């Protein structure tokens, strides 16, 4: 059995087949990336080792004919841009093929559909962990500027993270399935330090350079503190731009975007947090646009995987949704609960269907399915009510997200908001505001939070506490101790005390 080619051979095109051209490493290492951290790291490693090739990424454009209908948002052809895999700024063709999907190619496909008078709507169908920061904001701003010319929708099928979410956020609406994920509004960067490996194989690299910063990110040397600080500045600057863009696209305040802490939101939580517009699958969206019954274009990995889509589509409403109407069963239940939609009564239905043939009696299995669907719809409706009530309470963005995660029923919102506000006031008074989120999520009462904060403050003070702290108190104490360790005044006081004790 032959040994696989080394990383350098793969990078410089000597392996057959080469997984990607050498410019990929230049593009993604030591530079800010808008990608889900774990997925991005795995993606970079997979390209460099050949586990992922250009065959695993895809950009295709399809045109779906829509049937004119009064309830449809559009009539004519629907342009679908299918995006799968990682994202880079410019095309990187090479021995491995076309390379990852580029913003340049996305721009060309989008411009063609926007300028085509025969296209009445554009759909971005996304399955991407994100990618490079470079080029993303030019592309997303281009999508945002095109709003109003024709409907532009993002269909998250099945995830759109970071840069992928940046593309989705710029669209008029974001449709996400019940299991679809969006978010990860954050920035990461990777520096590969090979110096330890060099030493093991007996390789010594001697740098010959001019300019203090010339070899800051060379993989053969550990990164200096100054270089890391400069890299962090680049990441922070990109993050600020990312947050500002998402806030503008989705009409959110920047603090709410930052409060997500680059987290990922699924299904109804994404809608409740304002990260998506509505729940729906391909079938729901395409029916909304006037093309019911049209199968989704094939994507990489779609073969033999229709069961999930069928299961998700089973709960959608039978008729196409009208413009501005939510077409998902759960959202339908939420509209009923909110009083914005009135259910047809049995008498009204009987009068309207007097000439209709009697319906077949439901089978036990069908009745069970209907009961399960109703329970699921009720759960989604409750989640929407909880999110609306919590947001209306006016808590800080991070406390709002924490409370959404904890509250289980709409009836409990008022009590839990009061608890969260009390805990936040306690933490603010004891200069431990950063601990409020964890205390709220843990379900601690105001009295328990006060006891934990008192015990933790005592355990990190100058006096010796002999009582065994509870586990939660110990966690708070550790956090407080770390926080005090970063306080210059506290450090100076300890140094002065230690000097005095040595005299």
**Domain extent listing, the chain:** 7-313, 390-502
Q: What is the pLDDT of residue 172?
A: 97
- pLDDT category of residue 96 using cuts at 50, 70 and 90: very low
Mean pLDDT of 57-72: 70
Average pLDDT (130-149) is 95
Kindly tell me if the per-residue pLDDT of 468 is higher than 90.
Answer: no
Which pLDDT value is given to residue 487?
52
> 3-state DSSP helix/strand/coil percent for the chain, to nearest 5?
50, 15, 40
To the nearest whole percent, how much of the chain has pLDDT over 90? 32
- Comparing 138 with 323, the larger pLDDT belongs to 138
Q: Please say if the pLDDT value at position 210 is more than 90.
A: yes
Q: What is the mean pLDDT of residues 344-355?
A: 43
Tell me the whole-structure pTM to 2 decimals: 0.58
How confident is the model at residue 245, as a pLDDT?
A: 97
Q: What is the pLDDT of residue 307?
A: 37
- Least confident span in 15-24, 145-154, 166-175, 242-251: 15-24
What pLDDT does residue 37 have?
66
The answer to whether 351 and 100 are in contact (CB under 8 A) is no
* Long-range contacts from 391-396, C-beta under 8 angstroms, 24+ separation: 393/417, 393/421, 395/420, 395/421, 395/424, 396/255, 396/259, 396/424
Q: Any idea which residue has 């999930």 for tokens?
A: 308
pLDDT score recorded for residue 146:
97
Query: Is residue 174 pLDDT above 70, yes or no?
Result: yes
Phi, psi of 447 (to 5 degrees): -65, -45
pLDDT reading at 51 higher than 60: no
pLDDT at 341: 40
Residue 55 vs residue 92, higher pLDDT: 92
Burial class of residue 117 (count of CB atoms within 10 Å of its CB; 0-12, 13-18, 19+): exposed
- pLDDT at residue 129 tops 50: yes
Q: Which of 95-109, 351-365, 406-420 has the lowest mean pLDDT?
A: 351-365
Indicate whether 350 pLDDT > 50. Answer: no
- Determine how β-strand 181-183 pairs with β-strand 264-266: antiparallel
| Lowest-pLDDT range of 28-42, 290-304, 325-339 | 325-339
CATH number of the domain located at residue range(s) 7-313 in this protein: 3.90.226.10
Q: Mean pLDDT across the stretch 36-52? A: 62
Q: Give the model's pLDDT for residue 335.
A: 40
Residue 306: pLDDT above 80? no
Closest listed residue to residue 149, CA positions, set 104, 124, 115 = 115
Structure tokens at 313: 């589509």
The dihedral built from the CA positions of residue 9, 131, 190 and 273, taken in this order, carries a sign that is negative
**H/E stretch holding 278:** strand 278-279
pLDDT at 364: 62
Q: What is the per-residue pLDDT for 351? A: 45
Are 475 and 459 in contact, with CB atoms under 8 Å apart?
Answer: no
The secondary structure of residue 55, as a DSSP letter, is G
317 or 116, higher pLDDT: 116
* The predicted structure's pLDDT at residue 194: 86
How many other CB atoms are found less than 10 A from the CB of residue 448?
A: 16
User: CA 86 to CA 130: how far, in whole Å?
Assistant: 6
pLDDT value for 478: 59
Q: Is the pLDDT of residue 68 over 80?
A: no
- Count of CA atoms in the C-beta half-sphere (13 A) of 473: 18
Per-residue confidence band for 489, with pLDDT thresholds at 50, 70 and 90: low
Residue 327 in this model has a pLDDT that exceeds 50 = no
Neighbouring CB atoms inside 10 A of 366's CB total 11
As a whole number, mean pLDDT of residues 408-434 equals 85
């Amino acid at each position: 059995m032959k040994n696989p080619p080394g990383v350098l051979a793969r990078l410089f095109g000597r392996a057959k087949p080469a997984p990607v051209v050498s410019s990929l490493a230049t593009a993604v290492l030591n530079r800010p990336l808008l990608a889900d951290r774990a997925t991005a790291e795995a993606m970079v490693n997979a390209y460099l080792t050949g586990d992922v090739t250009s065959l695993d990424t895809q950009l295709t454009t399809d045109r779906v004919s829509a049937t004119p209908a009064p309830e449809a948002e559009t009539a004519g052809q629907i342009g679908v841009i299918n995006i799968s895999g990682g994202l880079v700024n410019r095309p990187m063709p090479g021995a491995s093929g076309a390379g990852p999907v580029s913003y340049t190619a996305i721009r060309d496909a989008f411009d063609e559909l926007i300028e085509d008078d025969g296209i009445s709507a554009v759909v971005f169908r996304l399955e991407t962990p994100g990618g490079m920061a470079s080029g993303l904001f030019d592309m997303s701003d281009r999508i945002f500027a095109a709003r109003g010319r024709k409907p532009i929708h993002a269909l998250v099928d099945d995830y759109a993270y970071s840069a992928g979410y940046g593309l989705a956020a710029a669209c008029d609406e974001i449709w996400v399935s019940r299991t679809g994920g969006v978010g990860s509004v954050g920035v990461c960067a990777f520096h590969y330090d090979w110096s330890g490996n060099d030493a093991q194989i007996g390789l010594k690299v001697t740098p010959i350079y001019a300019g203090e910063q010339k070899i800051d990110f060379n993989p053969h040397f550990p990164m200096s503190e100054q270089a890391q600080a400069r890299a962090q500045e680049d990441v922070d600057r990109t993050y600020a731009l990312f947050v500002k863009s998402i806030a503008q696209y989705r009409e959110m305040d920047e603090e709410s975007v930052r409060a997500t802490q680059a987290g990922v939101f699924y299904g109804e939580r994404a809608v409740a947090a304002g990260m998506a517009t509505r729940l729906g699958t391909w079938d729901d969206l395409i029916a909304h646009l006037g093309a019911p019954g049209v199968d989704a274009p094939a994507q990489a990995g779609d073969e033999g995987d229709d069961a999930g889509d069928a299961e998700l589509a089973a709960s959608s409403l039978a008729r196409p949704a009208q413009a501005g109407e939510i077409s998902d069963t759960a959202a339908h239940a939420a509209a009923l609960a909110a009083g914005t939609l009135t259910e047809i009564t049995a008498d009204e239905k009987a009068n309207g269907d007097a000439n209709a043939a009697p319906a077949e009696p439901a089978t036990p299995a069908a009745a069970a399915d209907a009961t399960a669907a109703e329970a699921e719809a009720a759960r989604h409706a409750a989640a929407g009510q909880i999110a609306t009530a919590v947001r209306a309470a006016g808590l800080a963005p991070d406390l709002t997200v924490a409370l959404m995660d904890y509250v289980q029923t709409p009836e409990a919102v008022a009590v839990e908001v009061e608890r969260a506000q009390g805990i936040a006031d306690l933490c603010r008074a004891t200069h431990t505001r950063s601990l409020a989120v964890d205390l709220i999520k843990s379900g601690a009462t105001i009295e328990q939070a006060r006891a934990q904060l008192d015990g933790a403050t005592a355990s990190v003070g100058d006096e010796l506490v002999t009582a065994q702290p509870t586990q939660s108190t110990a966690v708070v104490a550790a956090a407080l101790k770390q926080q005090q360790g970063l306080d210059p005044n506290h450090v100076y006081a300890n140094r002065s005390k230690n000097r005095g004790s040595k005299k």
